[in-house]
Structure 1
Amino acid sequence: MEWQLQDAKNQFSKVVQKARFEGPQEITVRGERTAVVLSAHDYDALRAGRPSLVDDLLAGPPWDDELAETVEARAKTPSRSAAF
């Protein structure tokens, strides 16, 4: 179902219930599809099997020796002073 933003705000609990039992609810702003409200079940199914950001970063290419040396050689103190 499609909801205008103002209607979705005014009837948020109904939007959530419809997402739970009827499927994704589309929210529009000035007639343009802007957001979709999903049930937790639908969201979990969408995310299943997908790597997290941490998984993606850890799966990146190994560092070559030059990059590893550059990282190790950098200053150990912060480059900016903290403004307290």
Structure 2
Amino acid sequence: MKSWPVQDAKARFSELLAACAAQGPQMVTKRGVETAVLVPAAEWHRIQQRSRPTLKQLLLSDRERGDLAIPARGARKRRVAKAL
């Protein structure tokens, strides 16, 4: 993956896009620190689809859906009504 200083990326954006399309992801640095990555759109869509489950998959999964502690039925004591 080629690294582009932000000044070069701004000045030669068309070249950056062409390199991304031909060679894959391109790193953009700001003051020597890796700041952003430009990836081809097809790869971005593939990553997004793989990383997020669909609603159907979430509802049909056996995994817990949250950190709610639901007590077992009948485990709580009922309040007794006080006579007036």
Class of the TM-score when normalised by the shorter of the 2 chains? 0.5 to 0.7
Alignment of 1:30-69 (within 5 A): 30-51=31-52, 55=55, 60-61=65-66
Query: What is the CA distance between 1:33 and its match in structure 2?
Result: 0.6
What is the identity, as a one-letter code, of the residue corresponding to 1:31? G
| Alpha-carbon offset, residue 10 of structure 1 | 0.5
How many residue pairs were aligned? 62
Matches within 5 A, 1:2-81: 2-51=3-52, 55=55, 60-61=65-66
Q: CA deviation at 1:64?
A: 8.1
Structure with the larger helix share:
1
Q: TM-score normalised to the size of structure 1?
A: 0.60
1-structure distance, mates of 2:32, 2:69: 51
| C-alpha distance in 1 between matches for 2:3 and 2:69 | 51
Secondary structure, counterpart of 1:28 in structure 2: strand
Distance in 1, matches of 2:42 and 2:27, equals 17
Structure 2 unaligned regions, length at least 5? 60-64, 71-84
Work out which of the two has the higher radius of gyration on C-alpha atoms and give 1 or 2. Answer: 2
How much identity, in percent, do the aligned residues show? Answer: 30
Structure 2 length-normalised TM: 0.60
Q: Deviations over 1:17-76 (max 9, x none)?
A: 111110100000111110000110111121123227x94xx7634x789xxxxxxxxxxx
RMSD in angstroms over aligned alpha carbons?
2.5
User: Counterparts of 1:33 and 1:19 in 2: how far apart (Å)?
Assistant: 16
